[in-house]
Amino acid sequence: MLVSQILRAKGDAVFTVTPQDSLASVAALLHSRRVGALVVLDQDRVVGIVSERDVVRAVAEGGGAILAKPVSSCMTRDVVYAQPGESIDSLLERMTDRRIRHLPVCKDERLLGIISIGDLVKWKISEVEAEAHTLKAYIATG
């Protein structure tokens, strides 16, 4: 299973913010959209990603006053991306090694969607279940 197939099935909606948006507005958007991360765009260019974990860390370090600061003060700038042609297994490995839960999917610097580790696990389980079903059917007819 490839990333492009997952995006076709789940959709390509990505919630974004700008580097100037406040952490308070980011926290509200994370809550209202029920997502764990937002992609930070400057014009149409991905410049970062901000997660619930980033917001919690910022508040723990800077107190409540930090919520007035821009998202650029706590976003992850070194964004790890996924490509549409990558496999679930390669992304699961990358996300586990780097301890990240969300990957923006880009092609030629254009944002196509976002993949979470939950998306990958869901599809991996589907693949394994389909394989098990096929093997059971093969054994039953053999």
The CA angle 10-14-15, to the nearest 5 degrees, is 135
Please write the tens of the pLDDT for every residue from 27-46.
Answer: 999 999 999 999 999 998 99
DSSP 53: H
Average pLDDT over residues 7-32: 95
What domains can be seen in the chain, in order of their start residue? 3-141 (3.10.580.10)
Residue 84 φ/ψ, nearest 5 degrees: -55, -30
Name the pTM for this structure.
0.86
Residue 134 φ/ψ, nearest 5 degrees: -65, -45
With a cut of 90, say whether residue 131 has pLDDT above it: no
H or E segment and range at residue 13: none
